[in-house]
Amino acid sequence: MPIDPLTLTGATSSVLSTKGGGSAAAGGFGDALGRLIGGIEQSTSEANSAVSGMLDKTTDVHDAMIALQRSQLTLELTMQIRNKFVQAYQDVMRMPI
C-alpha cells in the first residue's frame, strides 16, 4: 500500500507560497488568515470523520492516525505563525517614537 506524503492543506500552502509576490499578498492579509483558518477547520473535520470511520470500522486505523497527525501539525504550524505575529506586534509597540 503506497503511503501518501504529508502535505500541507491547500489553504496553508497558499498562505506560505512566495512565488511572484504570492497569492496571499494579492488577496490581502485578512483573506490569507481566513484561508489559514479554513484549512485548520478542514483538517480537523477530516480527522474527526476519519476517527468516526475508524470506530465504525469503515476506515483503517492507520488512515485515522495519519489524519490526526496531519491535523495536529497544521494546528502547531498555525500556533507558531500566531506566536510570530504577536512577537512582531510587541516589538513594534516597544519601538521608541
Contact assessment for residue 11 and residue 38, using Cβ atoms and an 8 Å cutoff: yes
Q: Are 24 and 17 in contact (CB under 8 A)?
A: yes
Q: What are phi and psi of 85, to 5 degrees?
A: -65, -45
pTM for this predicted structure: 0.64
Which parts of the chain fold into alpha helices (H)? 10-16, 22-27, 29-55, 61-94
pLDDT score recorded for residue 11: 45
Grouping H, G, I as helix, E, B as strand and the rest as coil, residue 4 is coil
pLDDT tens digits for 68-81? 999 999 999 999 99
Q: What is the pLDDT of residues 30-87, one digit of tens each?
A: 898 889 889 999 999 999 999 999 999 898 999 999 999 999 999 999 999 999 999 9
Domain boundaries, the chain: 10-94
